[in-house]
Amino acid sequence: MATRASTVEGTRLTNRLARLSAAERKQITDEFKEEVFGGLDDPRLHDRIRTDGTELPLGDPIKMSRWPAP
């Protein structure tokens, strides 16, 4: 976050998201993917997007800095 211009609210949201359990983060991303990609006509593509991993790399500060700030 230090290398980007961010707001206090963005920092708070990022901190809150990082403190969620893995199950809570998975639920949020699953709901997002279903809302965005749920209407796909190709069931294979829908399944691929739904099962694609989107875990935060919490143990790796370099990878974590690459995640977009809210």
Q: Domain for residue 31, yes or no?
A: yes
Give the residue, 70 or 35, on which the prediction is more confident: 35
Q: Domain for residue 6, yes or no?
A: no
Q: Domain for residue 9, yes or no?
A: no
Q: Domain for residue 58, yes or no?
A: yes
Task: Please give the Cα distance from 54 to 43 (Å, whole number).
Answer: 20
Q: Domain for residue 42, yes or no?
A: yes
The parent domain of residue 68 ranges over 24-70
Q: Domain for residue 11, yes or no?
A: no
Q: Domain for residue 63, yes or no?
A: yes
CA distances 68 to 38, 43, 55, Å, are 23, 28, 13
* 36-50 residue pLDDT tens: 877 878 878 877 777
Percent of all residues in the chain with a pLDDT value above 90, rounded to a whole number: 0
Give the residue, 60 or 39, on which the prediction is more confident: 39
Q: How confident is the model at residue 3 (pLDDT cuts 50, 70, 90)?
A: low
Instruction: State the pTM of this model.
Output: 0.51
Number of domains in the chain: 1
